[in-house]
Amino acid sequence: MPQINDNYLKLKAGYLFPEIGRRVTAFCQENPTAKVIRLGIGDVTEPLPPAIIDAMHKAVDEMARRETFRGYGPEQGYDFLRNAIVEHDFKARGCDIAADEVFVSDGSKCDTGNILDIFGLKNTVAMQDPVYPVYVDTNVMAGRTGAADAQGRYEGLTYLPCTAENDFTPSLPTKPVDLIYLCYPNNPTGAVATRETLTKWVDYAKQTGAVILFDAAYEAFITDPSLPHSIYEIPGARDVAIEFRSFSKNAGFTGTRCAFTVVPKTVMAKTADGAQQAIHPIWNRRHTTKFNGVSYIVQRGAEAVYSPAGKQQCADLVKFYLENAQILQHGLESVGISVYGGVNAPYIWLKTPDNKTSWDFFDYLLKNAHLVGTPGSGFGASGEGYFRLSAFNSRANVEEAVVRIKTLLGRLIA
Ligand code: PLP
């Protein structure tokens, strides 16, 4: 009988979203007429922009003819997409990134988990708390942690608390770490990083030899023109940072699947005997061995994100969700709730009223307003007492949610 990877048994009972799903299903079974509005999972609701659909239709037609049919493509992505990414996401913002440093994939969730394959188990890891749960769980699966404590903090990970007290901007680690996850704009808090904040982290990584794993899945939601969109806008970052990007939220690709990881050739790690080793060829080897590329049709769709029409349509999509965020923010503030995020991010992060725990507030909102959000404590111990609402929804649902919030919470707080 084979032995299981015991590290999986250290994972907390359920990933956050299945637990939410269980509670919502149970509620709906008991209350079949309730019109539940889901502002929990950060999944997009609006259809793909027409420029992307047109490009994918054309690609489907190409697949129907012998002369233009494509089989396996390059594992790292087609040149047409890698070149468009470099041109529009990096060169346009003054970042020195080459097309062969871009690895196209089917999602940032997989990329942020898979990147751990190429790092030794002895590396120490720091991450923001609260945090996108995938960073924590994939480190647990890899065997880089001990057991979790009562608050869900795993032994062996360095947590960088982000709360209203520090403006959701974590301090540098007090003990040395090898890998640092940073997510900006942040899921779940909606916080963004200024140029100064990112410079602090890049300088820290340069001084200590750490590598930054920078997740910029929500960069399209940055509205403040002074804020950096990529960590490579910071001098020196291409020596110390890997960046993850996704088409899921800027272009509505959550179900279509396309993303990319940037691994500059200048980012270094060390071998067991202390020699310097570039990360790029190791990641290239991993990617080409374990991944066979994103479908041609989807990559043509992703390329269209950068066409003039595609850019405009994606910007409109982002604007629509940000308007939803504003509607939620104003509605919550009007009944005295402390609200964060929502300006440069599609998430509203709120302080639970009446000192309720995050899960108590989840149950309270579901039972009394038939609204589903995400308990802050599910993202980490420092998220306790907070709650996340997602702006990814139809306008009608968001407006209805605000009416229900005002009725229920206005009464609670009054
Ligand atoms: N990174 C963050 C911070 C996210 O919130 C998400 C999805 O919600 C992802 C990555 C996953 O993106 P993808 O759909 O590309 O797998």
> What pLDDT is recorded for position 190?
97
Ligand 1 atom with least separation from CA of 258: 15
> What pLDDT is recorded for position 254?
97
Say how many Å lie between the CA of residue 64 and the centre of ligand 1.
32
CATH of region 6-47+312-413, choose from 3.50.50.60, 3.20.20.70, 3.90.1150.10, 3.10.105.10: 3.90.1150.10
Q: Indicate whether 146 pLDDT > 70.
A: yes
Is 108 strand, coil or helix? helix
Look at domain 51-308 and name its CATH class: alpha beta
Are both 6-47+312-413 and 51-308 of the same fold?
A: no
**Residues near 147 by Cβ (< 8 Å), separated by ≥ 6?**
10, 154, 155
Residue 355: φ, ψ to 5°: 55, 30
Chain Cα centroid distance, residue 107: 10
Element (H, E) at 365: helix 358-369
- What interface predicted TM-score (ipTM) does this complex get? 0.99
Round the average pLDDT of the chain to a whole number and report it.
96
Whether the CB-CB separation of 258 and 247 falls below 8 Å is answered with yes
pLDDT tens by residue, 304-325: 999 999 999 999 999 999 999 9
> What pLDDT is recorded for position 14?
62
> What pLDDT is recorded for position 337?
95
pLDDT tens by residue, 31-90: 999 999 999 888 999 999 999 999 999 999 999 999 999 999 999 999 999 999 999 999
Say how many Å lie between the CA of residue 368 and the centre of ligand 1.
30
Q: Is the CB of 183 under 6 A from ligand 1?
A: yes
> What pLDDT is recorded for position 413?
63
Is the torsion defined by CA of 16, 18, 19, 24 positive or negative?
A: positive
CB-CB neighbours of 195 under 10 Å:
12
> What pLDDT is recorded for position 17?
81
Q: Is the CB of 377 under 6 A from ligand 1?
A: no
37-41, 164-168, 277-281: which has the minimum mean pLDDT? 37-41
Where does the pLDDT of residue 414 fall: very low under 50, low under 70, confident under 90, or very high at 90 and above? low
Q: Indicate whether 138 pLDDT > 80.
A: yes
pLDDT tens by residue, 184-208: 999 999 999 999 999 999 999 999 9
Pocket test for ligand 1, best of 108, 183, 294 (most atoms within 8 A of CB): 108
Where does the pLDDT of residue 151 fall: very low under 50, low under 70, confident under 90, or very high at 90 and above? confident
> What pLDDT is recorded for position 15?
66
- Ordered by start, the domain boundaries in the chain are 6-47+312-413, 51-308
**Residues near 64 by Cβ (< 8 Å), separated by ≥ 6?**
none
User: Which residue has the least CA distance to atom 8 on ligand 1?
Assistant: 42
> What pLDDT is recorded for position 409?
84
> What pLDDT is recorded for position 208?
96
Ligand 1 atom with least separation from CA of 42: 8
Q: Is the CB of 105 under 6 A from ligand 1?
A: no
> What pLDDT is recorded for position 152?
87
Pocket test for ligand 1, best of 103, 138, 248 (most atoms within 8 A of CB): 248
Say how many Å lie between the CA of residue 245 and the centre of ligand 1.
9
> What pLDDT is recorded for position 68?
98
- Please state whether 26 falls in left (phi above 0), alpha (psi between -120 and 50) or beta: alpha
Q: Indicate whether 243 pLDDT > 90.
A: yes
Pocket test for ligand 1, best of 127, 187, 214, 243 (most atoms within 8 A of CB): 187
> What pLDDT is recorded for position 13?
61
